[in-house]
Amino acid sequence: MSVAVHRLQQTLAEKTSGIPRPRREVWFLRWMPVALTLAFFAYMYIGVMPMNDASAITSGDGNATERFAVLGMTGVALIEILRRRRAVLSLVTRAWPLWLVMGWFCASVTWAAFPDIALRRVMVMVFITLIALAIAAGIGPLRRVLALSVGLLAVVIAADLAVTVLNPGFAFTDIGVRGYHSQKNVAGLVAMIAVVVGLGWTLDRLRPGRMMVGLAFTAAAFGFLILTKSKTSIMLAVLGALMLPGILVLRRLGPAAALAVAVLGVGAVLVAYLGVTGFGGDFMGLLTPGNDASFTGRTQIWDFAASEIARRPWTGYGFGSFWDVGEANDPLLRAPPGSWLATLKVGERADVVINEAHNGYLDLQLQGGLPALVFAVVAQILTVLALTRKLFSRSLGRADAVAAATFLVIAVLVLVHNKTESSFWMRGQVLANLTILISLLAFRREPPGERMGEGS
């Protein structure tokens, strides 16, 4: 009775004071950012056509289901952008490095080798960026993004393991297990991300139950990663698992200690590099599985890509206008006689599909020349610095700081990943889409009231 009287008095006081009561949002509008985030993660980690083989034809322009999914998410994103236009405007201003990259790739349509292809593919990247922009502006604290990512990836890893056991005819290939994914490298990349975010979620709250569940998930993800035999992803997962606890320790020690450790680390790597190469050794070979610095003979692909870059060093061939441009225009037709690439079949006859340079830095130049390389690398470095700033901000609660550290590790791993794979602004690439979202989360201002959130 007293509660009802209190509410009646409060209502009368508000009416007499002239202060309007805040309107509560419709329930589905409140849940829209969460639904959009989960849909975006599902699009990245599950895809629209699981348990389907990749082919040179479908990888070029996607399919109707994928276009419908991207357009549907973009429609929801536009509603969110309009609803949160003030936060979006602030984020757009702060995330200027991303717009440099996107703007250059949009401009590349005018000089692209295949303008119609470039236009279609750059529009997909624009839509993906709009979706990521809406998520970053509306999802709330960083810890929520991490939790949603772990939740969905737990379903993904469970499904991968189930398909591996129940449908080995599809899951197992000659070069590694792919689960329900189109190929084993995609499976490996998703598992690598799962290992890093799983470990981050585990370290969020050091409680027995949380650690038991988190470590079980992380171990399952790493076990599946080993089955994929994806060398790059295995190496990055181990590196990320070592980096994350160290970064959290440095946060407790403070930015000065972190800077000192970073300087010492870079110096140690430089001394080791000079020492190994000074005696004629292969430094990269020592760091790679099987002592193979080329990662299964990719040096011929890199040499071919470098020769193609030399033909258009400043502009490249336009966004998405080098690989997957049709059998008649396949760049491998220009491979030098006698090389391994010249012996490959292309198009429908292809046994091995080559649709990237297996080096993100080369692929950036192939698509947009030297400016694209500079803009993208600068954007990624600034993303790392922005996340580092969040990490050492004492106004950020522990849970959000752990999430920032997790995203920081992924952002650093992207720089390493692109040495042997291509994920910088590569259409349809899992890590490319995730990198855009992480950059927008890094550049945004943290929502008011979340800076000293739970676990602070």
Tell me the average confidence (pLDDT) per consecutive run of 10 residues in the chain, 456 residues long: 53 50 60 92 88 56 79 94 92 95 96 93 94 94 94 95 91 87 90 96 84 93 94 92 90 70 66 62 55 61 90 94 86 79 62 79 95 96 94 85 94 92 88 95 78 44
Report the run of H or E that residue 204 belongs to, with start and end.
Answer: helix 184-204
pLDDT value of position 32: 87
Angle at 260 between CA 198 and CA 385, to 5 degrees: 55
By CB atoms closer than 10 A (0-12, 13-18, 19+), residue 390 is buried
pLDDT for 327: 81
- For 262-309, give the secondary structure using H, E and C: HHHHHHHHHHHHHHHHHCCCCHHHHHCHHHCCCCCCCHHHHHHHHHHH
Using only C-alpha atoms, the chain has a radius of gyration, in whole angstroms, of: 24
The CA distance from 247 to 257, in Å, is 11
Map tokens 């379903």 to a residue.
155
Beta bridge partners of 173: 176
pLDDT for res 300: 83
Using alpha carbons only, give the angle 359, 365, 431 rounded to the nearest 5 degrees.
Answer: 45
Nearest to 124 by CA among 79, 73, 78, 89: 73
Angle at 321 between CA 319 and CA 324, to 5 degrees: 125
d(CA 456, CA 446): 15
- Give residue limits of the domains in the chain: 23-149+299-357+359-443, 256-288
Q: Give the number of other CB atoms < 10 A from CB of residue 446.
A: 19
DSSP codes joined into one string, 221-247:
HHHHHHHHT-HHHHHHHHHHHHHHHHH
Backbone dihedral angles phi then psi of residue 139, each to the nearest 5 degrees: -75, -20
pLDDT computed for residue 6 by the predictor: 54
Question: What pLDDT does 420 receive?
Answer: 86
Q: Would you tell me how many other CB atoms lie within 10 Å of the CB of residue 200? A: 29
205 burial type by CB count under 10 A (0-12 exposed, 13-18 middle, 19+ buried): middle
Cα separation, 183 vs 51, in Å, equals 9
For 9-54, the DSSP string reads: HHHHHHHHHTPPPPPPPPHHHHSHHHHHHHHHHHHHHT-SS-S---
Q: What is the pTM of this model?
A: 0.87
CB 121 within 8 A of CB 177: no
What's the pLDDT score for residue 17?
Answer: 47
User: Quick one: residue 62, left, alpha or beta (phi over 0 = left, psi -120 to 50 = alpha)?
Assistant: left
Beta-carbon neighbour count of residue 98 at 10 Å? 26
Residue 166: CA count within 13 A, CB half-sphere: 8
Count of CB atoms within 10 A of residue 62's CB? 18
Residue 384 tokens read as: 């790392």
Cα–Cα distance, 380 to 439 (Å, whole number): 7
Residue 179's pLDDT is 87
What local confidence, expressed as pLDDT, does residue 71 receive? Answer: 92
Distance CA 53, CA 348 (A): 13
Half-sphere exposure of 398 (CA within 13 A, CB side): 12
φ, ψ dihedrals at 391, nearest 5°: -55, -45
Q: How many CA atoms lie within 13 A of 81 on its CB side?
A: 16
Which token pair is 395? 């106004």
What percent of the residues of the chain are helix, what percent strand, and what percent coil, each to the nearest 5? 70, 0, 30
